[in-house]
Amino acid sequence: MMMLMGYGCGVQNSDWQVKDHTPPSFSRVYFIDSGRVRYESGGTTRPLHPNRLYIFPSFAPYTIEHDPDAPISCLWFHLDLFPTLVPKLVEIAPDEALQCLLRAARLEVNSPAPDAAYLTCLAEALSRQWEKQGFLSPPDPALAPVLRYMAENYPLALNIREISLHFGYAPEYFIRSFKRRMGITPHQYLIGCRMNQALLLLRGQTPIGDIAQKVGYTDGKSFSNAFQNRYGLSPSLYRRHFAPRA
């Protein structure tokens, strides 16, 4: 089920950048209003253009940078599009239907008190349109039940050996097969499920120790270490400085 993890609209700070050296496990969605912006993934660099909507890969590392003299201004969402996947960058010239949905989303995001439930409905409508147009890929049928099991049970003390045996695979074969189909290991995918929920909870006031337990860690220290390893900063620092950003 699609999950809205964050949203915003406006000009980003001059020091803004995205550096996902590990796959983020969610998709950034930007409708760019203005700015000079560069995207790089797998050694290939390309500019991102105003008046285009971009859906960024969910399971590929990438970086995005802008020119501080022409900073990016955009409407943005962070979406967990489970169970569909975004294997590569998608660029869309919005048609009339998409423009209507984006206008409604922009008005709500810029309102004094945005309604997250309403924005979730709009994001769901957007994702369904993208799926119909072939921009989103369904998971490999052989992996679909495994992905759903991991997405539903990530708060439990799962380990990859138990997951592989649960689905009748030898652990070594399961890891190789999963990585061949998804581009990441099952452990990385499981961590992604946990961190997606953690990022969502960090936007609120839930104590970090409680977040750790909610996303499958036995204590705050182990959660903080995992978060630090993935994002390069502590959960408390993320909450203080980066949660509202694109």
CB atoms within 10 A of CB 229: 10
Q: Is 90 exceeded by the pLDDT of residue 207?
A: yes
| Rounded-to-integer distance, Cα 188 and Cα 87, Å | 16
| Rounded-to-integer distance, Cα 139 and Cα 82, Å | 9
Residue 101, Cα to own-chain centre: how many angstroms?
A: 20
Of the candidates 164, 205, 210, the one whose C-alpha atom is nearest the C-alpha of residue 187 is 164
Element (H, E) at 186: helix 186-202
Q: Is 90 exceeded by the pLDDT of residue 200?
A: no
pLDDT band at 243 (very low <50, low <70, confident <90, very high): low
| Rounded-to-integer distance, Cα 87 and Cα 101, Å | 24
Averaged pLDDT for residues 191-205: 89
Are 244 and 8 a contacting pair, CB within 8 Å? yes
Helix (H), strand (E) counts: the chain: 9, 9
- The pLDDT value recorded for residue 109 is 96
For residue range 78-114, what is the model confidence (pLDDT) as tens digits? 999 887 888 889 999 999 999 999 999 999 999 999 9
DSSP for 198-245, please give it: HHHHHTTT--HHHHHHHTT-SSHHHHHHHHHHHHSS-HHHHHHHTTT-
For residue range 132-151, what is the model confidence (pLDDT) as tens digits? 888 888 888 888 899 999 98
Are 83 and 143 a contacting pair, CB within 8 Å? no
